[in-house]
Amino acid sequence: MTLEKVLARIDEDLPDATGRLLELLRIPSISTDPDYADACANAADWLVADLRSIGFDVHKRATPGHPMVVGHARDGKDGKNDGPHVVFYGHYDVQPVDPLDLWDKPPFEPAVEDTDAGRVIRGRGASDDKGQLMTFVEACRAWKAVNGSLPARLSVFFEGEEESGSPSLVPFMKENADELRADVALICDTGMFDADTPGIVTMLRGLVGEQLTITAASKDLHSGMFGGIAMNPIRVLARIIAALHDAQGRVTVPGFYDGVTELSDEIRAQWEALDFDADAFLGDVGLSKPAGEQDRLPLEMIWSRPTCEVNGIGGGYQGKGFKTVLPSHATAKISFRLVGQQDPLKIRESFRQMVRDMLPEDCEVEFQPHGASAASQMSTDNPLFEKAREALSDEWPNAAAYVGSGGSIPIAGHFRDILGTDALLIGFGRDDDQIHSPNEKYDMRSFHKGIRSWARVLARLED
């Protein structure tokens, strides 16, 4: 059987595959820092050369920022073009490494290490996203070695600015929509539900950020001379923040829940079967009680319900010691995670109006927006979703489940909105991979079984 031969080839080639990943990890492709622009270009060149070696017609494509890597293998599978067109997305850029003194080893001198939990690949980008990206490339390499060709109608699309806000992504996708459009997009920038349970992310929350500054007096005041008679903007801000949730954890912004959808019975049953341990999840960070909507499952709170959170607050004297000042202004940073069909612009305006309505005389407010993206929800009605879930279930100890994600991955929405393409989000990262933090790692088991998983997915998608 062809698949069994491909899997055997993956097992045999694992040492060389690991060596290739370590080589890519040595390139310091930090996209947000202009000093690393040449390194980002070098990472793109490395990927172009590697992909060409396994049969892709691939090129580095210029953008106003860091280059894209786009390649195609349309004539695989004995020259037939009867399978679905699949495009795989990943990103080759990485986060900055600061604070450098918290790394146990230099972040761009990657190595395989033995830990109490097993062997890991340590280095910046090991999990986010070079290790994940290379699981797919290595699956294609094994497929080519065994079959002499790649699966039919297969494309790759690698970005170099994901960690710096993707400023070139949307224009590039719009300009090259006909080339990038496919039957399904595969995105490997997510993780496992647990060590033995793979997941296909079908829900991603959107995000609205707002910074508000409330100003009262024209300057800071002496709290003895003006306290009691002058309005304190921190008091006003505290009252507004306190009013954002009711006693049951529901958000009180008018119209906030418009467009929020309920789980299907099938997805709810899958989530309940995952037997999520909320006590352990919270216990790992020193907490004990879920603080969201009290009539919801803990997994709903994380994956499928919208949120309103205060991410920062400031005002008045915050230095050492004590100063009896009555501040002239107070500031808070508020974020809303969105689900379903919630409209980010309507929520922003509703929140602003709520604040204005609560503002007393002698106070004014200034708002500063920070992004507004809608949630992404993939329809599992596409038969390719179930094929992928079955393929993952064949590789891992536990059956794969359709899961949600509390985070936001804009590329999934871009595939849908710009290209009309459903996205399958399949990743093999772990919650303890320390992405964006010092000592980032990727489990060797995730790397190995991730390659095998993609080989199985490709085989099922091509059936």
CB burial readout 190-204, b (16+ within 10 A) else e: bbbbebebbbbbbbb
| Final residue before a domain boundary, out of 302, 331, 354 | 302
Determine the pLDDT at residue 376.
Answer: 86
Amino acid at 122: R
Is the alpha carbon torsion for 137, 138, 144, 147 positive or negative?
A: negative
Q: Which structural domain range is residue 15 located in? A: 2-204+375-461
Q: pLDDT tens for residues 137-180?
A: 999 999 999 999 888 789 999 999 999 989 999 999 999 999 99
Percent of the chain with pLDDT over 90: 86
The verdict on 20 and 101 lying in the same domain is yes
pLDDT at 79 over 60: no
Amino acid at 327: P
Average pLDDT over residues 281-299: 92
Domain of 349: which CATH number? 3.30.70.360
Amino acid at 130: K
The verdict on 63 and 85 lying in the same domain is yes
Average pLDDT over residues 458-462: 88
Determine the pLDDT at residue 81.
Answer: 56
Amino acid at 462: E
Determine the pLDDT at residue 150.
Answer: 85
User: CB under 8 Å to 391, separation ≥6 — which residues?
Assistant: 453, 456, 457, 459, 460
Secondary structure (DSSP) of 33-45: -GGGHHHHHHHHH
Determine the pLDDT at residue 380.
Answer: 84
3-state secondary structure of 312: strand
Average pLDDT over residues 336-358: 97
Q: How many CA atoms lie within 13 A of 206 on its CB side?
A: 22
3-state secondary structure of 361: coil
Percent of the chain with pLDDT over 70: 98
Q: Decide which of 103 and 80 is more confident.
A: 103
Average pLDDT over residues 436-448: 97
Closest CA to 126 of 411, 430, 406, 454: 430
Band of residue 234 on the pLDDT scale cut at 50, 70, 90: very high
Share of the chain residues as helix, strand and coil, in percent rounded to the nearest 5: 35, 25, 40
The verdict on 152 and 276 lying in the same domain is no
Q: pLDDT tens for residues 184-231?
A: 999 999 999 999 999 999 988 999 999 999 999 999 999 999 999 999
Structure tokens at 188: 């490997």
Structure tokens at 121: 């690949």
Mean pLDDT of the residues in the chain:
94
Structure tokens at 94: 């990485």
Band of residue 1 on the pLDDT scale cut at 50, 70, 90: low
Domain count, the chain: 3
C-alpha–C-alpha distance, residues 136 and 461, integer Å: 14
Average pLDDT over residues 69-82: 69
The verdict on 292 and 389 lying in the same domain is no
pLDDT at 78 over 60: no
User: CB under 8 Å to 293, separation ≥6 — which residues?
Assistant: 248, 249, 250, 300, 301, 305
The verdict on 230 and 159 lying in the same domain is no
The verdict on 119 and 199 lying in the same domain is yes
Closest CA to 134 of 16, 12, 222: 16
Average pLDDT over residues 86-95: 97
Sheet with 206-215: strands ordered across: 307-315, 329-338, 206-215, 364-373
The verdict on 280 and 342 lying in the same domain is no
Work out the number of other CB atoms within 10 angstroms of the CB of residue 22: 18
Cis, peptide link before residue 99, omega less than 30° from 0:
yes
pLDDT at 80 over 60: no
The verdict on 404 and 317 lying in the same domain is no
The verdict on 19 and 90 lying in the same domain is yes
Is the alpha carbon torsion for 298, 304, 310, 312 positive or negative?
A: positive
Domain of 419: which CATH number? 3.40.630.10
The verdict on 254 and 118 lying in the same domain is no
Q: pLDDT tens for residues 390-405?
A: 999 999 999 999 999 8
| 128 φ/ψ angles, rounded to the nearest 5 degrees | -125, 90
The verdict on 221 and 342 lying in the same domain is yes
| Final residue before a domain boundary, out of 351, 372, 393 | 372
User: CB under 8 Å to 210, separation ≥6 — which residues?
Assistant: 333, 334, 335, 336, 348, 351, 352, 367, 368, 369, 370
pLDDT at 425 over 70: yes
Q: pLDDT tens for residues 409-418?
A: 889 989 999 9
**Reported pTM:** 0.85
The verdict on 38 and 135 lying in the same domain is yes
Structure tokens at 422: 């459903």
Q: pLDDT tens for residues 104-148?
A: 999 999 999 999 989 999 999 999 999 999 999 999 999 999 999
Q: Identify any residues that bridge with 214 across adjacent strands, giving them in sequence order.
A: 330, 365
How many helices and strands in the chain, by DSSP H and E?
14, 18
pLDDT at 70 over 90: yes
CB burial readout 38-65, b (16+ within 10 A) else e: ebbbbbbebbbebbeebbbebbbbebeb
What Rg value do the Cα atoms of the chain yield, rounded? 25
Closest CA to 103 of 93, 88, 113: 113
C-alpha–C-alpha distance, residues 341 and 354, integer Å: 21
Average pLDDT over residues 345-359: 98
